[in-house]
Every structure is written in structure tokens, then in C-alpha cells.
Amino acid sequence: MIRVELPQHLRTLAQVSGEVKLEVEGRVTQRSVLDALEAAYPMLCGTIRDHVTHQRRPFLRFFACQEDLSHEPPDAPLPDAVASGDEPLLIIGAIAGG
């Protein structure tokens, strides 16, 4: 099981509390995790990455294992600890707006 921690506003939108747990088939990458997340919670489509380009929205970041993975290619493997479920993938809303 892959663990994903969403920002508060997206937890409200998806009507979940705490971490989201997902089954991800194949390699565990940003793309495969987000595909699984959007399939399970379709109301999140377009809120983390663009509907058409699939680019990460500018004010969101992907963190895991004390690393900023936001600029990693979407098909790069996520850390082993995320793939094994020992650590969550954190989706963080940037602190912006003054």
C-alpha cells in the first residue's frame, strides 16, 4: 500500500481524513501514484496536476523521506520507503500569499 498525505483542502474535497492508502500497480512513480489517486478520488483530478499537460500545479510540491521530489521526472521511481509504504508521499501546498 502506498501512503499519500494530502493538504487539508484536498482532504476536505475528497472527504477523507488522515492519509490516503492506494494500491499502485507496477513501478511506483509520481505518475503512477497520481493516476491511482485520481482514479480512486476523481474529484481530485485537475487539483494536483493539470488535466491536459499533467504538469504539477505551481503552488504544490511533492516531498518524501526529507527530500523535495517536485522537480523529479514524473516517471522516476519514488524512494523505496515510499514504494514499501514505510514513508508517505507528501503533497504540500506551498506557503505563498504573504
Partner 1 sequence: MSKVRVLVGTKKGAFVLTSDGKRDKWEVSGPHFAGWEIYHMKGSPVDPNRLYASQTSGWFGQIIQRSDDGGKTWQTPGGEPAKTPEGFPKGQSNKFAYDSSAETGKPLTTHQWYDGTQHPWEFKRVWHLEPSLTDANTVYAGVEDAALFRSTDGGTTWHELSGLRGHGTGPHWQPGAGGMCLHTIILDPSDPGRIYIAISAAGAFRTDDGGNTWKPINRGLRSQFIPDQDAEIGHCVHHIAMHPSRPGVLFMQKHWDVMRSDNAGDSWQEVSGNLPTDFGFAIDVHAHEPETIYVVPIKSDGEHFPPDGKLRVYRSRSGGNEWEPLTKGLPQSNCYVNVLRDAMAIDSLDSCGVYFGTTGGQVYLSADAGDNWAPIVRDLPAVLSVEVQTLP
Binding site for partner 1 (CB under 8 A): 7, 9-10, 13-14, 38-48, 51-52, 57, 59-60, 93-94, 96-97
Residue 52 to residue 55: CA distance in whole angstroms: 8
| Nearest distance in Å: CB 80, partner 1 | 28
- Retrieve residue 32's grid coordinates: 503512477
| Nearest distance in Å: CB 21, partner 1 | 13
Compare residues 18 and 96 and give the one whose CB is closer to partner 1: 96
Compare residues 7 and 74 and give the one whose CB is closer to partner 1: 7
- Retrieve residue 58's grid coordinates: 505551481
Q: Are 70 and 79 in contact (CB under 8 A)?
A: no
Q: Indicate the length of the chain as a whole number.
A: 98
**Backbone dihedral angles phi then psi of residue 51, each to the nearest 5 degrees:** -55, -45
Compare residues 3 and 56 and give the one whose CB is closer to partner 1: 56
